[in-house]
Amino acid sequence: MRNILNITNGDCAVEIMKKANISGIFLPWRDVLHEGPVPDNLSLEELSKVRAQFIVERSWGTPDKIIESFTQRDDELKYFRKYEKVILWFEHDLYDQLQIIQILDWFHKNNAGEVDLSIICTDQYLGRLSPEEMKGLVEYEESITEAHLELSCKAWSAFRSNTPEKWHELLSKDTSTLPSLAGAIVRLLEEYPSCSNGLSRTAEQALKVISGGEKHPGRIFGGTQELEERIFLGDSSFWVVLHELLESSPPLIVLPEGKELTLPTSKDQELTITSAGLDVLAGKMNWLEVSRLDRWIGGVHLDPSNVWCWNSGSSSIAKIAKIAKIAKIA
């Protein structure tokens, strides 16, 4: 048995890989890189501190465990030379593609030397596979080449840039070495406010599902996932979007009086769309007029002084000097 480090997208995949008797040590890459700050010019350790702080602020775990998780992950990666081989096991969606380019950028900067690097990346969701199906993925293993490393370095730098322009420019480049990257580039750009109504694609899909009559948060989440070409979002991230729609002024969705949105949810939490929500969906109102823009996408900090919007019709990204007034707010 060879001394192997298997890096994959999370704990669910690791559990299945163990049941499948995959050889080696397992390293889950627990980071939701499409959310929160991922600024440039930071070492792996420095960036991990930023990411850990963001996840702590989201209350997605206890501070000690989150910080320890990043520290252990980074330490394991730094000592990769003790392995004969490193295999990356990932998927085609946005969540995984960002992890891939981060990891391969690190290997580009930290020469692998004699260690054999390879990747398995398919359109199968690892956490949903049976142990036998997981075993079968080895037929898709391919060696990581200099082309993989160079493309990842370029993409990771573009993702961490303080404007989305370099990330958008990747769409005009040859990214076929990582076949699923182009789709991930577009999907991240769709999380920028829409030029027509100010909504991210995720927020717009949520409103559409609610306007169609679905009220229960869990089923709304399921409905939005059905609208995705590649599922990448977890329920904790989706709940953040729902809270934003609830907390704008006026709100785009509401709960019954006296109820709060929680996770896990309860049967009496029912969401309905408001007239303002319908106006935003119809393009009669821009959500940026009634919400507080303060979020990060990679290295871009979106706030009222730095508004970038995505035009799905022309597949273009543009900075706007001022949020356009589409309609008067009553």
**pLDDT the model gives residue 112:** 65
Instruction: Give the start-to-end residue ranges of the domains of the chain.
Output: 4-162, 190-320
- Percent of the chain exceeding pLDDT 90 equals 92
Query: Cα–Cα distance between 38 and 296 in angstroms, integer?
Result: 8
Query: Cα–Cα distance between 178 and 184 in angstroms, integer?
Result: 11
Confidence of residue 327 (pLDDT cuts 50, 70, 90): very low
Confidence of residue 201 (pLDDT cuts 50, 70, 90): very high
Direct distance between the N- and C-terminal alpha carbons of the chain, in angstroms, rounded to an integer = 69
Domain 190-320 is found in CATH 3.40.50.300: no
- Its pTM stands at 0.95
Confidence of residue 324 (pLDDT cuts 50, 70, 90): low
Query: Cα–Cα distance between 149 and 152 in angstroms, integer?
Result: 5
Average pLDDT over residues 68-91: 96
**Residue 95: partners with Cβ closer than 8 Å, 6 or more residues away:** 9, 32, 33, 34, 232, 233
pLDDT tens figures, 97-108: 999 999 999 999
CATH code, 4-162: 3.40.1360.10
**pLDDT the model gives residue 72:** 97
pLDDT tens figures, 234-289: 999 999 999 999 999 999 999 999 899 999 988 889 999 999 999 999 999 999 99
H helices present in the chain, as ranges:
11-19, 44-57, 63-78, 94-109, 131-136, 146-159, 165-169, 181-189, 201-211, 217-225, 235-247, 275-281
Mean pLDDT over each residue of the chain, to the nearest integer: 94
Average pLDDT over residues 286-311: 95
